Amino acid sequence: MIFKKSLPLLIATSLTASLNAHAQSSDLMPSLYGKANVTAVLNDYEIGDSSGELESNASRIGLKGEVPLSDALKVVYQAEYQVNPGEEVYHHFGLSQRNSYIGLEGGFGTVVVGRNDTPAKLMQNGIDLFNDLNGDIRTLFVSEVRPNDEIHYTSPTVSGFTLMHASIIDGQDSLRERASKSTSTALTYGQGNYLFGIAMDNNLTGHDSFRFMSRYRSGGLQLGFMYESAQTSKGENDGIFVSASYKMDKLVLKAQTGAADQKKAGAVQSTIGADYNLDADSKVFAFVTSTSADNPTVDNQQYGVGFEYNF
């Protein structure tokens, strides 16, 4: 039991030591990075008592870097773990794996192998303004997946177009069958202030889906839209999502709303909030999220204030 709990830390320590040894010999040091995002929230439920708590919102720490193999080819790697400052230290050290991979980058694009966000998830490109909070788009849509055993390809951007494709190599079938069984593909096109994208998931964590997104940016204004149609064990369901933000110096005002039946029947979620940037790496923020569904036990108003620091 002690060995199992210690294994993630032992792997991370060994990886760090190995990378440092190579870095010292070649003068290439991996970058240590992370984010702490903590909120104090009050949940006001339609049915039941109100409750307050302190939450860590996908706080993380990681190592990433690259090692040139030639003028046209390099190794890229990343090991990232989510941490919970409020979790008991002996519970798996409070760690859970996020995007962690190794691969190659060159003129052909980038190919990585490991655990990574799918192309469909990555395609939202910042239109989810309350990512990692209770108002995250993942509470409505199913195509927000980070699978293990993923081979992920990202093409170079050509005339504004970028292609991403991922195959999840998992199961008991042959390698060829597994590579074609569970896939995610996305194509984006960016031109000037506009970005458009389409994506499809095939047999991924029990769903097939199609999503379309658009984003407009001009000055401090950003507008976003997403439509998703998904086939799950509950049947075929559609969902829509819109967001808007406006930046004024250090203050960012933002709002988003979405409706979908994919995770909860009749689910509607809306969030308004504001960020105040203290500097390039830290901010304070406040938000209100309203959630409702056909099941009244889901109905909730969440009020929150928080602090985020990136390094």
Region 58-81 average pLDDT: 97
Domain contains 29: no
Task: Quick: pLDDT tens for 265-310.
Answer: 889 999 999 999 999 999 999 999 999 999 888 899 999 999 999 9
Identify the band that residue 20 occupies on the pLDDT scale cut at 50, 70 and 90: low
pTM attached to this predicted model: 0.84
Give the pLDDT confidence score for residue 16 in this predicted structure.
53
CB 253 within 8 A of CB 274: yes
Residue 126 CB coordination number (10 Å)? 13
Task: Quick: pLDDT tens for 28-61.
Answer: 889 999 999 999 999 999 888 888 999 999 999 9
Region 236-260 average pLDDT: 97
| pLDDT at residue 139 tops 80 | yes
Region 76-95 average pLDDT: 76
Distance CA 211, CA 143 (A): 8
| pLDDT at residue 174 tops 70 | no
Region 4-28 average pLDDT: 50
Domain contains 28: no
Domain contains 18: no
| pLDDT at residue 183 tops 60 | yes
| pLDDT at residue 76 tops 60 | yes
CB 238 within 8 A of CB 210: no
Region 168-189 average pLDDT: 78
Tell me the CATH number at 43. 2.40.160.10
Distance CA 140, CA 121 (A): 13
199: tokens are 């994506």
| pLDDT at residue 180 tops 70 | no
pLDDT, averaged across the chain: 89
Question: What does the buried/exposed string (b/e) look like for 183-205 if buried means 16 or more CB atoms within 10 Å of the residue's CB?
Answer: bbbbbbeeeeeebbbbbbbeebe
- φ/ψ (deg, to 5) at 61: -145, 145
Domain contains 40: yes
Distance CA 276, CA 72 (A): 41
| pLDDT at residue 204 tops 50 | yes
Domain contains 250: yes
Domain contains 262: yes
- In the chain, the percentage of residues whose pLDDT exceeds 70 is 85
CB 290 within 8 A of CB 269: yes
Helices (H), 52-145: 119-122
| pLDDT at residue 164 tops 70 | yes
Residues whose CB is less than 8 angstroms from the CB of residue 95 and which lie 6 or more positions away in sequence, other chains included: 8, 9, 81, 82, 83
The whole domain housing 145 covers 2-7+36-310
Domain contains 236: yes
CA atoms within 13 A on the CB side of 249: 1
Domain count, the chain: 1
Domain contains 25: no
